Amino acid sequence: MHGEWVPIIFFISVAIGVWGYFLYAYKAKEQQQDTLKKLIDNGQTLSPELITSIAKPQGSDSGKDFSRGVLLVSFAIALGLFGLFNGQTKVVLAGLFPLCLGFAYLLIWKFKPKDND
């Protein structure tokens, strides 16, 4: 009877988490725009360094790809070992998905052009 609530609560939790992430990103961007508007209204000049730091996308850090790759490969190894020790081949096969994602992130990190700033 109560078993059908588990997936419902799971998907509601995932939806709330995604909604919260986008709400936080929206609020941060809005606060940044308000700060820039106040600076311009007060007559302060904006330096070129400030403008380039604002215009630069925040997700351009190449270290994130490496850490995500290592994290996913570690998770896949842990999942595979758990399945091997418990004799569950489905769990071992499920570990292939994060393993492939982890290797993909590591390949992206390896072949992405590095910024020499």
Tens place of pLDDT for every residue, the chain, 117 residues? 577 877 888 889 989 999 999 999 999 889 988 888 888 888 888 788 877 777 776 655 667 888 888 988 998 888 888 888 888 888 888 888 888 989 998 898 888 877 655
Domain shared by 76 and 101, yes or no: yes
In this predicted structure, what is the pLDDT of residue 62?
Answer: 64
Please tell me whether residue 5 adopts helix, strand or coil conformation.
helix
Domain shared by 12 and 66, yes or no: no
Domain shared by 26 and 13, yes or no: yes
Domain shared by 77 and 47, yes or no: no
Asked if residue 109 lies in contact with residue 65, where contact means CB atoms within 8 angstroms, the answer is: yes
Domain shared by 34 and 63, yes or no: no
Domain shared by 114 and 67, yes or no: yes
**How many Å apart are CA 31 and CA 93, to the nearest integer?**
45
Domain shared by 88 and 111, yes or no: yes
Please tell me whether residue 59 adopts helix, strand or coil conformation.
coil
Domain shared by 76 and 107, yes or no: yes
Domain shared by 109 and 72, yes or no: yes
Q: Which of 56, 75, 101 is the last residue of a domain?
A: 56
In this predicted structure, what is the pLDDT of residue 19?
Answer: 94
Domain shared by 5 and 22, yes or no: yes
Consecutive H or E run containing 81:
helix 62-86
Amino acid at position 88, single letter = Q
**How many Å apart are CA 90 and CA 11, to the nearest integer?**
23
| pTM given for the model | 0.50
In this predicted structure, what is the pLDDT of residue 27?
Answer: 94
CA atoms within 13 A on the CB side of 58: 4
Q: How big is the chain, counted in residues?
A: 117
Domain shared by 25 and 12, yes or no: yes
Q: How many domains is the chain built from?
A: 2
With tokens 């940044």, the residue in question is: 32
What residues make up the domain containing 93? 59-117
Domain shared by 67 and 101, yes or no: yes
* Residue 6: C-alpha distances to residues 3, 9, 16, 114 (Å): 6, 5, 15, 44
